[in-house]
Amino acid sequence: MPILTLLLMFAAGVVGGMLSVMAGGASFITFPALVFSGLTPLAANTTNFVALILAQPTALATSYRPELRSVGRDLMPSLVSAAAGGAAGAILLLKTGESGFARVLPWLMLLATVLFATGPHIRAAIIANVRVPLTGASLTCQSLLFLFSIYCGYFGAGVGMMLLGVLTVFGYDDIHEANAVKNAVVAVSSIVATAIYGLSGPVAWPQALAMMAGAVVGAYAGGIVAKRAPQPILRTSLIILGSAFTLYLFWR
């Protein structure tokens, strides 16, 4: 493995780790980097999960401990939904296979980009039209978390912003608490999916380990920056990047 490629993986991991814990969208950086390093789409996807597995736990341990203590036991149903959904998504990906995943990949990137771009508007529309109290422990919320965790275990690009939208609708008015729960849900679903991929999936370990090291550094910094930095410019950049990569996938 050329040293330049490993440095690129590390750099992509740093940026991806920061994005992952701040608002979501890490895979808009890390997945294209893995594809351009020469991996097939399926290998890039499974490697991506392994590379980012420590991002959320790092942020939770260093920056979001007060928020996790505040949420307390209310977090447990969400973690169960995340584990079940992550396992289902990983199994679905492995059953789909290389050719099947390659066919749906451009559409998944399109879906992720559109949902990431329109997430705040969807959230505002739901809040404006839902007239009954909604809680994070409700069956509706847990069903949505389960479905998004399936998507997270299968592909996952843009899932962070989708989860923030759901959590905000269902009673997490404090953005930092919502971000802590989002990171915990993504962490659990990703860890379960990664365990399945590590046993059964094609993982490129040199790229994965280089990107993982960068993601830990980025996650530590991102957890600090997330509580201070405005995010409109960051969101716009991710939307542009996601749109460009989606067009590339349809073109090729």
**Which tens digits make up the pLDDT trace of 114-163?**
776 776 676 677 667 766 556 666 788 888 899 989 988 888 776 777 78
HSE-up of residue 48 (Cα within 13 Å, Cβ side): 30
CA end-to-end span of the chain, whole Å?
A: 25
- Residue ranges in the chain whose pLDDT is less than 50: none
Quick one: pLDDT at residue 12?
95
Quick one: pLDDT at residue 185?
92
- Could you give the angle at the alpha carbon of 208 between the alpha carbons of 213 and 230, nearest 5°? 55
Quick one: pLDDT at residue 67?
82
User: Which CA distances in Å does 136 have to 49, 84, 168?
Assistant: 26, 17, 9
What residue type is assigned to position 103 of the chain? R
For residue 3, the tally of other CB atoms under 10 A from its CB is 8
Mean residue pLDDT of the chain comes to: 81
CB–CB of 16/208 below 8 Å? no
Q: How far is CA 44 from the centre of its chain?
A: 15
Quick one: pLDDT at residue 85?
95
Taking each continuous run of H as one helix and of E as one strand, the counts in the chain are 11, 0
For residue 198, the tally of other CB atoms under 10 A from its CB is 15
What is the per-residue burial (b if ≥16 Cβ within 10 Å, else e) of 34-72? bbebebebbbbbbbbbbbbbbbbbbbbeebbeebbeebe
Among residues 204, 240, 149, the alpha carbon closest in space to that of 1 is found at 204
Quick one: pLDDT at residue 210?
95
Quick one: pLDDT at residue 162?
73
Within 155-231, where are the H helices? 159-169, 175-200, 205-225
CA dihedral 201, 205, 208, 213 (to 10 degrees): 140
- Across the chain, which distance is largest between two alpha carbons, in Å? 57
